[in-house]
Structure 1
Amino acid sequence: MSDLPDVTVQATEYAVSLLPEGDINRHVFAITVEYRGVGQWAVTRHGFCLGADGEWAQGVKPYDRGDDWLSAHRFDLDTALRLAREAAPHVVVNGHTAADAYRRTRPEEQPR
């Protein structure tokens, strides 16, 4: 019998995007939900962190945030995923939103 504990497996990151898997533009419009410990998750994109107010803020580095900042930018998993889903259609790249990119690459799925 081994004196070692069972190996643990934990999901620590989710990719959230309006664009479906396999879409050539998905990675540039993606938002990441990342585990930050103690049941807390951050919604991030390119060094910015989404706040409870729906605004993106710089400050994902440990040394530039205080307790007030953390309480506004850390969430339980369900809240983090909901905020990421709500923000996903509005991600902007080169002046185009994820919704614009979806409409351009999926014209056959658009209502007539």
Structure 2
Amino acid sequence: MTQQPEPVATCQATEYEVSILLEGDINRSVFTITVQYRGDGRWAVTRNGSCLGADGEWEFGIKEYDRGDAWLAAHRFDLDTALRLARQAAPHVVVNGHTAMDAYRRFLATP
């Protein structure tokens, strides 16, 4: 009987956090956008249950089974595109009427 080779463990990054706020900023988590791997080389740009589209608009609902092929085509990207879109959107994230840029400026102004 031929002995089967032992499987080799693989590692894969499946999520990135994108924010203009520094890692030590207490407000970073609420102003963070997430880029998540969705399989087949496609990534989603998400935040609080919403998904960023190629048009730069956030749309509620990120579950693939809730959406058709046209919606998925407009909301799933290669990694470079997903990260670029997330970086562009990051300064404009709004929480309680304040943008991430407002929070960034306040953090810099803190002695």
TM-score by length of 1: 0.92
Following superposition, which runs of at least 4 residues in structure 1 exceed 6 angstroms of deviation?
none
Summarize the alignment of residues 1-112 of structure 1 with structure 2, pairs less than 5 Å apart: 3-107=5-109
Q: Secondary structure at the match of 1:106?
A: helix
Q: Secondary structure at the match of 2:38?
A: strand
- Superposition RMSD on alpha carbons, in Å? 1.3
Partners of 1:75 and 1:23 lie apart in 2 by: 29
Percent identity reads 73
Q: Residue 55 of structure 2 aligns to which amino acid in structure 1?
A: D
Q: Residue 34 of structure 2 aligns to which amino acid in structure 1?
A: T
Displacement, 1:3? 2.4
Tell me, yes or no, if the aligned pair for 2:91 and 2:99 is still in contact at 8 Å: yes
- Structure 1, unmatched stretches of 5+, are none
Q: Secondary structure at the match of 2:46?
A: strand
Q: Secondary structure at the match of 1:57?
A: strand
Displacement, 1:59? 2.1
Displacement, 1:24? 0.6
Q: Residue 68 of structure 1 aligns to which amino acid in structure 2?
A: A
Larger radius of gyration between Structure 1 and Structure 2:
2
Q: Secondary structure at the match of 1:37?
A: coil
Displacement, 1:62? 2.5
- Structure 2, unmatched stretches of 5+, are none
Partners of 1:62 and 1:56 lie apart in 2 by: 15
TM-score by length of 2: 0.93
Q: Residue 97 of structure 1 aligns to which amino acid in structure 2?
A: T
Equivalent pairs counted in the alignment come to 108
Partners of 2:35 and 2:45 lie apart in 1 by: 5
